[in-house]
Amino acid sequence: MDRLQAVGVNAPQIEFWNGPAGEKWARGADGQDAMLTPLGIAAMDVCAIQPGDTVLDVGCGSGSTTLEIARRVGAGGRVLGVDISTPMLDVARTRLAALGVDGVSFDNKDVATYPFEAGTFDNVFSRFGVMFFIDPVAAFTNIRTGLKPGGQLGFVCWQGLDKNPRMAVPVNIALKYVTAPPSRGPEAPGPLSFADPDRVRRILSGAGFGDINMEALETMIRVGPDAPGSVQKLMESGQAGRLIGPASEAVKARIADDIVEALADYQTDDGVMMGGAVWIVTATA
């Protein structure tokens, strides 16, 4: 399948998620889903997704959330998963074909500019897929046009780095060996750009949403079975991935050794367990 062209205001993100980063996430889809599925399920349980609903899954990635929504809406419902990453959508379509689920479709487009038919969806959901918009107010305004009046938006996003050792540990170790790029500021597109709840409320209210609610969830995340089985995942994800990616193989090896050592503090009988803190956000069109 031809890759989505990097055009429009979100061109930098389209380029990023169709390059090596998107390919790594596609290859590691099973491991990422195993780690993140409990957080997505927690968010879905708060949302008002009902049998027979028509639902939009924003930033659906490799499709596991879309397929879970399809299970919830049942045969009478429909689900559209949209993502800018062609490599991850290839995985999503493969998974869909293997399951043979009806009422599900995927589209390789940018939801910030997607030509939604007004009033199509009962619900919009996202698991960590809404923090990357260059102009989030414009993107959420466009998403809202696709919702029916009174329809619900629900998503899960990360709280700050200080509350997420899964991200903080590899980032802090990497910074011992590599120079941090110039700061883009806390509101620059990225996994932590929605950490400030006041900013999230400003974005959603500016996009025309009401009844905005943010519920804090702190839990333990299973990163992997053991330190050697977790280190690569931590090195390739989020801020750590962007820091470590350009480094030499020798530097990457030293970072990996230090992460393995640090993970000894998180090893349990159930695997490497690290604290995670998220916001579960709901709002009404």
Give pLDDT tens digits for 149-192.
999 999 999 999 999 999 999 999 999 999 988 878 888 999 99
58 within a domain of the structure (yes/no)? yes
Q: Three-state SS for 53?
A: coil
Helix (H) / strand (E) element for 234: namely helix 231-236
What pLDDT is recorded for position 238? 81
Overall domain count for the chain: 1
CA distance 283 to 212: 4
pTM score above 0.85: yes
What pLDDT is recorded for position 211? 98
- Within 8 A by CB and 6+ apart from 24, the residues are 236, 241
138 within a domain of the structure (yes/no)? yes
189 within a domain of the structure (yes/no)? yes
Consecutive 10-residue runs of the chain (285 residues): their mean pLDDT? 83 91 90 93 94 98 98 97 97 96 96 96 98 96 97 97 95 94 85 97 98 97 93 88 91 96 96 96 97
For residue 6 the two structure tokens come to 């990097």
What pLDDT is recorded for position 212? 98
Angle at 13 between CA 219 and CA 27, to 5 degrees: 60
Q: Give percent above pLDDT 70 in the chain.
A: 100
173 within a domain of the structure (yes/no)? no
174 within a domain of the structure (yes/no)? no
CA distance 2 to 6: 12
CA distance 56 to 145: 12
97 within a domain of the structure (yes/no)? yes
CB 139 within 8 A of CB 47: no
Beta strand 78-82 pairing with 104-107: parallel
Q: Encode pLDDT of 52-67 as tens digits.
A: 999 999 999 999 999 9
Residue 115: CATH number of its domain = 3.40.50.150
82 within a domain of the structure (yes/no)? yes
Q: Name residue 66's amino acid.
A: T
230 C-beta neighbours (distance < 10 Å), count: 25
Q: What residues make up the domain containing 21? A: 11-162+185-221+274-284
145 within a domain of the structure (yes/no)? yes
